[in-house]
């Protein structure tokens, strides 16, 4: 009788253990999945609070505009949305600056600043890239030149994608430079493909695909083509053989193929927009992207219209296919200079550099200042 009783007790213990195992195994799988999701992202990033904002407007900088022939305080109103690149062990920022003169909320030009620690910067007193009396004047005047992204080509030439604005349409354009100071304009990115079909399409935010090589992010081809992610409502893709002429990727219906779209109920519910240059890692293609929270059907924990940033992983075998995407933002406005400015509640990421054992991530704050966040290189992606 006691043996039977002991056997029943043993069976009950086994059943209890099996029930516990059914609870534990999914939890472990969930933890592993969450860990795996985190392995492909870059960061975590910490805002450098003791130095931010690292660049502010400067009313003392003057420049004789070649079109109006007037002396303008070219960076007196706002500085924001910087690109970054490391050259000769110095980190450079190419940043958007606005004056008070241009009728479309100030003409935008590109300034140049440099640093040997990634945090403290000196800057040239005059812009290095601006609207002029050239073939691009109809597209660049008098709204200006906006929101650069920079990559280094295999031949060490620097290519910059930027937005031209004529007061009506934003158009993506390309320029190149051997030294970051002297620039050649190559025209509109989509002008020479599809018989100019997308020449006058609203387009901006060109994030060219790169591969890390030490402190440089070098433009990298996949199947003999360079790739670029672009767009500021949906994110689209384009390819190129020369980094200047770009061919948008179309879907089966002959329309622009949507690679990344907004998500209802999330921080990226109204629009998504490319951030810094995309990067090939062991996990896939990493793209940091900016987004706007919708006034309706957005993230209830963020103010309406908030710009925050997420990350997405794409397939290097098919660069328009999403593998993973973060559920939430990793940078959002929380400091006073991020919350209040020309446009409130904005963190807008455009510059990323591996520099001196850290990842430095540069972003515009409230379309008015520039800030930086840092992540130790031990969190690097190869």
Tell which residue, 320, 333, 328, has the closest CA to residue 278. Answer: 320
CA dihedral 266, 272, 274, 278 (to 10 degrees): 50
CATH topology assigned to domain 40-379: Tachylectin-2; Chain A (2.115.10)
What is the per-residue pLDDT across 318-329, written as a single tens digit (0 to 9) for each?
Answer: 999 999 999 999
pTM: 0.90
- pLDDT at residue 31 tops 60: no
pLDDT digits (tens, 9 = 90+) for 183-241: 999 999 999 999 999 999 999 999 999 999 999 999 999 999 999 999 999 999 999 99
Rounded mean pLDDT of 255-265?
98
b/e 7-28 (16+ beta carbons within 10 angstroms → b): eeeeeeeeeeeeeeeeeeeeee
For the residues 156-182, what does the mean pLDDT come to?
98
Q: Does residue 147 contact residue 204 with C-beta atoms inside 8 Å?
A: yes
Q: Say yes or no to pLDDT of 30 above 70.
A: no
Q: How far apart are CA 250 and CA 255, in angstroms?
A: 5
What confidence score (pLDDT) does residue 287 get?
98
3-state class of 116 per DSSP? coil
Give tens-digit pLDDT for 288-345.
Answer: 999 999 999 999 999 999 999 999 999 999 999 999 999 999 999 999 999 999 999 9
Which residues neighbour 215 within 8 Å (Cβ) at sequence distance 6 or greater? Answer: 86, 89, 353, 354, 355, 356
- Percent with pLDDT over 70 in the chain: 89
The answer to whether residues 96 and 170 touch, using CB atoms and an 8 Å cutoff, is: no
Please state whether 243 falls in left (phi above 0), alpha (psi between -120 and 50) or beta: left
> What is the per-residue pLDDT for 377?
86
Task: Tell me the per-residue pLDDT of 112-132, one tens digit each, with 9 for 90 and over.
Answer: 999 999 999 999 999 999 999
Give the Cα separation of 65 and 68 in Å (integer).
6
pLDDT mean over 136-162? 98
C-alpha distances (whole Å) from 333 to each of 78, 118, 256, 291, 304 are 17, 21, 31, 12, 12
The pLDDT, as a whole number, for residue 378 is 75
For the record, the structure tokens of 69 come out as: 């022939």
Report the pLDDT value the prediction gives residue 5, as an integer from 0 to 100. 36
Domain boundaries, the chain: 40-379
Q: Are 308 and 327 in contact (CB under 8 A)?
A: no
pLDDT at 380: 53
């Amino acid at each position: 009788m006691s043996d039977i009783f002991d056997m029943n007790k043993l069976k009950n213990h086994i059943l209890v253990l099996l029930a516990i195992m059914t609870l534990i195994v999914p939890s472990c799988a969930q933890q592993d999945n969450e860990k795996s999701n985190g392995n492909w992202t870059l960061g975590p990033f910490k805002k450098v609070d003791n130095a931010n904002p690292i660049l502010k407007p400067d009313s003392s900088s003057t420049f004789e505009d070649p079109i109006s022939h007037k002396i303008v305080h070219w960076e007196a109103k706002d500085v924001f949305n910087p690109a970054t690149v490391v050259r000769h062990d110095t980190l450079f920022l190419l940043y958007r600056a606005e004056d008070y003169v241009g009728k479309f909320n100030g003409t935008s030009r590109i300034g140049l600043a440099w640093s040997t620690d990634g945090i403290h910067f000196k800057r040239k007193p005059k812009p290095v890239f601006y609207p002029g009396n050239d073939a691009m004047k109809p597209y660049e005047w008098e709204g200006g030149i906006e929101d650069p992204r920079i990559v280094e080509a295999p031949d060490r030439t620097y290519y910059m994608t930027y937005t031209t604005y004529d007061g009506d349409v934003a158009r993506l354009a390309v320029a190149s430079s051997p030294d970051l100071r002297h620039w050649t304009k190559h025209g509109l990115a989509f002008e020479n493909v599809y018989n100019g079909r997308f020449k006058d399409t609203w387009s901006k935010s060109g994030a060219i695909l790169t591969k890390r090589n030490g402190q440089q992010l070098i433009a990298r081809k996949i199947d003999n083509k360079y790739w670029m992610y672009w767009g500021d409502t949906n994110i689209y893709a384009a390819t190129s053989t020369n980094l200047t002429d770009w061919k948008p990727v179309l879907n089966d219906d002959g329309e622009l193929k949507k690679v990344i779209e907004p998500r209802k109920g999330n921080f990226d519910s109204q629009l998504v927009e490319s951030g810094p240059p995309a990067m090939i890692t062991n996990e896939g293609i990493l793209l940091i992207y900016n987004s706007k929270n919708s006034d309706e059907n957005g993230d209830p924990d963020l103010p309406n219209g908030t710009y925050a940033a997420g990350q997405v992983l794409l397939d290097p075998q098919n660069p328009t296919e999403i593998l993973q995407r973060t559920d939430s933002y990793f940078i959002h406005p929380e400091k006073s200079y991020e919350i209040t400015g020309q446009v409130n509640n904005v963190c807008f990421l455009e510059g990323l550099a591996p520099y001196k054992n850290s990842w430095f991530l540069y972003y515009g704050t409230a379309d008015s200042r520039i800030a930086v966040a840092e992540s130790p290189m031990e969190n690097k992606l190869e």
